[in-house]
Amino acid sequence: MKKIIIVGLVKPKVIHTDSSELIARIGLQEWQNLFGNADLNIESRVIYENRAIPECQKLSSELQQKKPDAVLVFETIPGITQVLFEIAIHSASGTVCRYTINAEKIIYELRKNMIPAGLSCNENPPSLSYTFFSVANYICSHELPIKFGLIHLPLTTEEVCRNNWYHSSPSLSRETLINAAKIICELS
C-alpha cells in the first residue's frame, strides 16, 4: 500500500480558505470515495504560516518512523493560472533540493484531464517554500527513499468571489483542484 503525507501550507491572514487548506482538509472518507479501493494510505495535515517552522521540523522528525512513499506539499499562490510543480527548492544558504516526484508524467496526466499544469522555475519562491525546504533537505540529507514535491495551486473560484482583493485573479473550481490532487497522489 502506497503511503502519502499531504501537507497544506496556509497563510490565514492573506487567504481565508485557500486551495492548499482545501486539499489538506479532505477527510479520510472523502479520500476513500475519491480513490475507491486504491491501495493508498493518505495522511493529511494543515500547517499554518505562523507555526510553519516547528511543524515542518516535527514532520521531518516523524519521517523515518512513518516511512511514507511520498510527501506532497500544496501551497496556494494567488495570481497563478495553473497547477505548478516547483522544480527545485532553494534554501537561504543556496542549497538546492530538487523534486523527486515524476512531475512531467503528472503534468501530462493533468493536462489530459483538462487541468492546466506546468513547471515552476521560481528562483525566489514564497516564504513557505523555504519552510518546506527543511523537510526536503531532511529527506535528501538522510537519503530516505521518499519522493517529495512542492505544488503551487491557484485560488479556488469561491475564494476569488468572496475576497475583494482577488476579484480579478485566476482560479480553479473546488472539484478541479480535488481531481488534480487525486491524480497527483495516484502518480506520486
Per mean pLDDT, which range of 35-49, 122-136, 139-153 is the poorest? 122-136
| pLDDT per residue as tens digits for the range 156-179 | 888 888 878 777 888 888 889 888
Q: How confident is the model at residue 80 (pLDDT cuts 50, 70, 90)?
A: confident
Residue 40 CA, chain-centre distance (Å), reads: 17
Res 48: pLDDT: 78
The closest of 109, 113, 85, 110 to 99, measured between CA atoms, is: 85
Question: Which CATH superfamily is 2-187 part of?
Answer: Peptidase C15, pyroglutamyl peptidase I-like (3.40.630.20)
| pLDDT per residue as tens digits for the range 33-75 | 666 656 778 887 878 777 777 888 888 889 988 999 999 888 8
Contacts of residue 75, Cβ cutoff 8 Å, sequence gap at least 6: 8, 9, 20, 126, 128, 129, 132, 150, 151, 152, 153
Q: With pLDDT > 90 as the criterion, what percentage of the chain qualifies?
A: 10
pTM value? 0.84
Contact 74, 153 (CB under 8 A): yes
Quick one: CA dihedral 177, 23, 159, 75, positive or negative? negative
